[in-house]
Amino acid sequence: MIAADTSTWIAFLQGDGGTDVAALDSALEGRHLLMPPVVLTELLSDPKLDPDVAASLVELPLIDITDGYWRRAGELRARVLAIRRKARLGDALIAQSCIDRAVALLTRDRDFLTFAKAAGLDLAISA
């Protein structure tokens, strides 16, 4: 199983290329994709999102939020902030979702590198 960050989804939806987009396409085709709830929220927040695309996105299986998730996400963010690195709340929530399920995250956002170093987030970054 694999997950994709908002940056990869946007590239995919815009028809951009890249290894992350190809991996997302393959995961969708093979039904090996889990959607982080925060990514779904970010994507659905776009007022210009095509309603048919939105309907397809909400059909994807979500990563379950398990007991203690909010505490673990807060602690993860605190560890990253303690080493004076950028740790946006949404990124911390996405990272913790993937860490909890041991799911690799496809992304174009290099801010996730810190979560990989701090907590072992399995990451596939594309440019």
Q: In which band, very low, low, confident or very high, does the pLDDT at 24 lie, cut at 50, 70 and 90?
A: very high
Amino acid at 55: A
The full DSSP string for 65-110 is PPTTHHHHHHHHHHHHHHTT----HHHHHHHHHHHHHT-EEEES-T
Q: Count the residues in the chain.
A: 127
Reported pTM? 0.93
Residue-averaged pLDDT of the chain: 94
Q: Rounded CA gap, 85 and 98, in Å?
A: 20
Give residue-wise pLDDT tens across range 70-82: 999 999 999 999 9
Q: Work out whether strand 2-4 and strand 123-125 pair parallel, antiparallel, or are unpaired.
A: unpaired
| Per-residue pLDDT, 126 | 65
Q: Rounded CA gap, 46 and 29, in Å?
A: 24
Amino acid at 71: R
Percent of the chain with pLDDT over 70: 98
For the cut 80, the answer to whether the pLDDT of residue 125 exceeds it is no
How many structural domains does the chain have?
Answer: 1
Determine contact, residues 105/91, Cβ cutoff 8 Å: no
Q: What is the rounded average pLDDT of the residues 43-53?
A: 97
Q: What is the rounded average pLDDT of the residues 56-66?
A: 97
List the domain range (segments joined by +) for residue 13: 2-125
CATH number of the domain where residue 109 is located: 3.40.50.1010
Q: Work out whether strand 104-107 and strand 123-125 pair parallel, antiparallel, or are unpaired.
A: parallel
Q: Give CA 103 to chain center in angstroms.
A: 10
Question: What letter would DSSP give residue 127?
Answer: -
